[in-house]
Amino acid sequence: MTVLEPFGARLRRVMDERGPLCVGIDPHAALLASWGLKDDIAGLETFTRTTVEALAETVAVVKPQMAFFERFGSRGVAVLEKAVAELRAAGTLVVMDAKRGDIGSTMAAYAQTYLHQDSPLFVDALTVSPYLGYGSLKPAVDLARESGAGLFVLALTSNPEGGEVQHAVRGDGKNVGATMLAHLTEENAGAAPMGSFGAVVGATLGDLSSYALDINGPLLAPGIGAQGATAADLPAVFGSAVHNVVPNVSRAVLKEGPSVTALRDAAVRFADEVREAVGTAN
C-alpha cells in the first residue's frame, strides 16, 4: 500500500490553495431534467462528465452522493468510479457521501470498499454514521489511518429529525452530538496541521458556542446556498473553529448547469465568499 500524506494535511493544503469549499454531486431526477437530460444512465454519464470537467482542478473538495449513482445499478457505480479517478488525478479531494455505519465484519467491508487503496472506489474520505455506537466505526478509523484517508462522522446534522438522536442527553449529562465531537478530538490529538477525522455539522444550526467544535479536524458543513445559510454566517456558527470548516454547496452550484463555465464560475464565487468570510473572522 502506498503511504499517503494524511487526509487532514492534504485537505488543509488544498483548502488554502483553492478556497475552503466542497461541492456536492447529486444527480437526482429533477436536476437531470433541469439540465435537459433523461433520468437514465446516459443522462447520468453526461451530468457526471460535465460536473467533473467544471470542478476538477477548481475546487478543493467534491462530494458525490453515492445513492444517486447506486440507483442505476452497476452501470451507475461504474460512472462514479471513473469520476472519482478523474477528480483525484486532478488534485481534487473526493469525499464519498455514503453515510455507512454497521458493526464488525460488515463495517470492515464498508471500510474496504472506500478506504482501501486497491478498491476502485477508494476516496480521500468517507461519511459515516456512529449511531450503532462510536466504537462500531473502529474498522473504518483503523483503515483510514493506514491508508492516509479520513472520515466525516455525523455529529450535528442540519436535518430537523436528527435532533431526536443527536440532542439526546446521556447519563453523564452530555448530549450525543457533543459525545461524538469528543471522540473525534481524541482521534485528532497531536495531528498537525489538522487531523483527518472530521464531523458533519450543519451550517444552518445557528449559534453552536455551547459545543466544543475545535476538534483539531475538519468540519463538513452542509447548508450553504439552497438550504438558507450563507458564507457570512459561518463565523457566528462555528466561532474559533471556522478555519477548519469545509462548507458544502450542492444545488446552488449544480443549478447553473449544463454550462461548464457557469458551473465553474458559481463554484469559484462561493469559494471566494467563504474565503472572505473566514478571513475576516477573529
- How many other C-beta atoms are found inside a 10 Å radius of the C-beta of residue 44? 22
Read off the CATH number of the domain in which 152 is found: 3.20.20.70
Query: Is 1 a member of any domain?
Result: no
Strands 125-128 and 245-249: unpaired
* pLDDT at 153 > cutoff 90: yes
Mean pLDDT in residue range 41-51 = 98
Query: Is 14 a member of any domain?
Result: yes
Query: Is 2 a member of any domain?
Result: no
Cβ contacts of residue 30 below 8 Å, gap of 6+?
none
pLDDT at site 226: 63
State pLDDT tens for residues 169-218.
999 989 999 999 999 999 999 999 999 999 999 998 888 988 999 999 99
State pLDDT tens for residues 254-276.
999 999 999 999 999 999 999 99
Query: Is 229 a member of any domain?
Result: yes
The answer to whether 10 touches 263, Cβ cutoff 8 Å, is: no
* pLDDT at 280 > cutoff 80: no
Q: Identify the domain containing residue 29 by its residue range.
A: 7-279
Query: Is 272 a member of any domain?
Result: yes
pLDDT at site 281: 43
Query: Is 166 a member of any domain?
Result: yes
Residue 104 phi, psi (nearest 5)? 55, -130
First to last CA, the chain: 41
Mean pLDDT in residue range 219-225 = 88
Query: Is 176 a member of any domain?
Result: yes
Model pTM?
0.96
Helix axes 41-55, 73-89, angle to 10 degrees: 10
pLDDT at site 2: 75
pLDDT at site 121: 98
Query: Is 36 a member of any domain?
Result: yes
What is the number of structural domains in the chain?
A: 1
Q: Which residues are catalytic?
A: 99
